[in-house]
Amino acid sequence: MLRMRIFALLILSTTFLTPLHPQVISGKGSRALWIWRDRAEVAPKNAFTYFRKEVFLRRIPKDATLHFAADSNAHLWVNGHILQRKMTRYFEASIRTMVLDPAPYLHTGWNTITVLHHSWGPIITFQRSASVHAGLYLRSSWVNSDASWKVLPAPEFASGSDQILGVTGDSRIRYPEVIDGALAEEHMGSPAFDDSKWQQAVVVEDGPWPATPEDVETEPQNETSILPKRIIAAGTLHMNGPLARRAIDIAGTISKADYTPDQRISVAAGKLVTGGEVTVSGKRGESKYIMVDFDEPVHGFPELTLSASHAGTVIDLGYGELPFSQYTGRAFVRSDGWMDPECVVAASGKTIKVLTISLVVIGKGRMTLATRLVKPLRWMR
């Protein structure tokens, strides 16, 4: 039985350049405040926002600990190094802070803190209450969240509140994420990055959270990277009709497609197992797929490194939780690489999460990719 568990995450690399302009220093004199991007939409559905702050350090603090919280979720980078990928589950009225150590990534001079915030909106899910107000909170001896932070709605993330329903009709947190890499801002982890056109953060005076949250009682996650153990199948995907325009409908299109395994592509994709790169080529309108198996029950984030020679390439990541339905016995995965990305069911017993990559190439093009799974060593959140 195939067993794997993953979540999707897009990683952007950063390059450190020379500072272009000074920034306001936030430090010991300021008090940590809850902040948000504006006062118009206080709890938008499926909204991604960047928060950014530059701080000048004459010396590395003896205690550089960050106490970090976000409603609903967030990734946090320090000088371009990912420090936190998700938040612990919480109820707004008693939200707690993650305790993080940024010291290995700090240096004297200008340092940059970058946050990608994800607002879910008023959705109730497992061990989380519905969001009344989106917000961000960061407290430390050397930087605090306040109105001096800069904010920008993440331009690469398409807006949309469509949700994939669960088997009982619950909406939960299943937003299709549509990312346009051509719109992504680069080098945000560098002091040279120009955020002069970004807006100032606004302070939330009457939010639903504690003004000074307590620390979460568990230790933060530690991570290790694992590579795929094998290639299940790879080949050409034959769509029975045009690719769906709405992201939420793409999974249905893929599940109804015909899969033709190609041994040459499977052999080439084997480089992913050893951490290598694979180049996938196609003609106008062709779709290629690769299904990989991490061969162990894990909770983690797939890290996909991509470079394309032609604009307009569409990448779909799909996964299933079980190889077959526990209710009907219907197969969700086949040896030719077919899978049903809509097979979310109540899981009990052994589980499967399989990563499928389907490429739709507009015009002649080539794409190089590499993938691995970032596995938290402590993941019960």
With H, G, I as helix, E, B as strand and everything else as coil, classify residue 271.
helix
Residues 164 and 297 in one domain: no
Cα–Cα distance, 197 to 192 (Å, whole number):
14
Give me the sign of the Cα torsion angle 23, 24, 28, 31: negative
Nearest CA among 318, 317, 309, 314 for reference residue 361: 314
Strand 81-84, strand 47-57: pairing: unpaired
**Which of 218, 252, 275 is a domain's end point?**
218
Cα–Cα distance, 32 to 66 (Å, whole number):
11
In a domain, 240, yes or no: yes
| Structure tokens, 281 | 């080529």
Query: Which pLDDT score is estimated for 205?
Result: 93
Kind and range of the H or E run holding 265: helix 263-269
**Which of 218, 241, 267 is a domain's end point?**
218
Residues 267 and 130 in one domain: no
Residues 111 and 244 in one domain: no
Query: Which pLDDT score is estimated for 264?
Result: 93
State which residues of the chain have pLDDT below 70: 1-29, 126-127, 164-174, 220-222, 243, 297-302, 308-312, 318-323, 341-381
With H, G, I as helix, E, B as strand and everything else as coil, classify residue 290.
strand
Cα–Cα distance, 221 to 377 (Å, whole number):
6
Nearest CA among 126, 103, 102, 88 for reference residue 218: 88
In a domain, 325, yes or no: yes
Nearest CA among 220, 240, 164 for reference residue 8: 164
Q: What is the pLDDT of residues 50-65, one digit of tens each?
A: 999 999 999 999 999 9
Count of the separate structural domains present in the chain: 2
Name the residue with tokens 């002649």: 364
Cα–Cα distance, 239 to 358 (Å, whole number):
11
Residues 348 and 278 in one domain: yes
CATH number at residue 345: 2.60.120
Q: Residues 288, 236: contact at Cβ < 8 Å? A: yes
Residues 249 and 364 in one domain: yes
User: Which residue segment(s) compose the domain that 237 sits in?
Assistant: 224-376
pTM of the full structure: 0.81
Q: Residues 278, 290: contact at Cβ < 8 Å? A: yes
Query: Which pLDDT score is estimated for 78?
Result: 97
In a domain, 3, yes or no: no
**Which of 167, 183, 218 is a domain's end point?**
218
- DSSP characters for 101-150? --GGG--SEEEEEEEEEEE--S--BTTBPPPSS-EEEEE-SS---STTSE
Rg (CA), the chain: 22
Q: What is the pLDDT of residues 320-358, one digit of tens each?
A: 556 677 777 777 778 888 877 655 443 333 333 444 444
In a domain, 4, yes or no: no
Residues 283 and 212 in one domain: no
Burial class (CB in 10 A: 0-12, 13-18, 19+), 30: middle
